[in-house]
Amino acid sequence: MADLKFEQKRPMSRLEAADQLMAFAEALREGGETDVDLGSGTLSLRIPDDLRSEIEIEVGDGEIELEIEFKWPIRRTPAAPSPTPSSTKETPARRKRTPAKPERSTPGTGRKTNTKRSATRKS
C-alpha cells in the first residue's frame, strides 16, 4: 500500500495541460526541495539529481493515452561525508628529500653497502 497517493482526473484544455507539464518540468530542472502548484493545492517534493522514467503510449478504443512517470527513492542515498572544519585545512605540498651525501653503511647498522661491482660474470 502506498504511503500517499494523489490522483487528479479532470478535463482540461491543451494550454492547461501544457502549463501543468511546464510546472513539473521547472520543478525537475531545479531539483532539490520544490513546490508544485496543482491548481487544487500545492505539492512539496524533494527531487534528486537521478531518477527513473517511464513513458507509455496506448492507442485503442478510439483514444490515445499518454502516461509519463518518474520514480525516485524517498530517502536520500548516502553521500560522501561532508568535510569537517579540521579536514578542510590545506596541507602544504611535501617536497622530495634528497640527501646531500649518499648514505654510508657502518658496521652493525644492517644496511647494505652501495659498492660498485663489475659487470663480468663468475663461472
Per residue in 63-106, pLDDT (tens digit) is 999 999 999 998 765 655 655 555 555 555 555 555 565 555 55
Q: What is the pTM of this model?
A: 0.53
Query: Which tens digit of pLDDT belongs to each residue from 32-73?
Result: 888 877 777 888 889 999 999 999 999 999 999 999 999 999
Is 68 in a helix, a strand, or coil? strand
DSSP percent split of the chain into helix, strand, coil, nearest 5: 15, 25, 60
SS3 label, residue 46: strand
* Rounded Cα–Cα distance for residues 106 and 104 (Å): 6
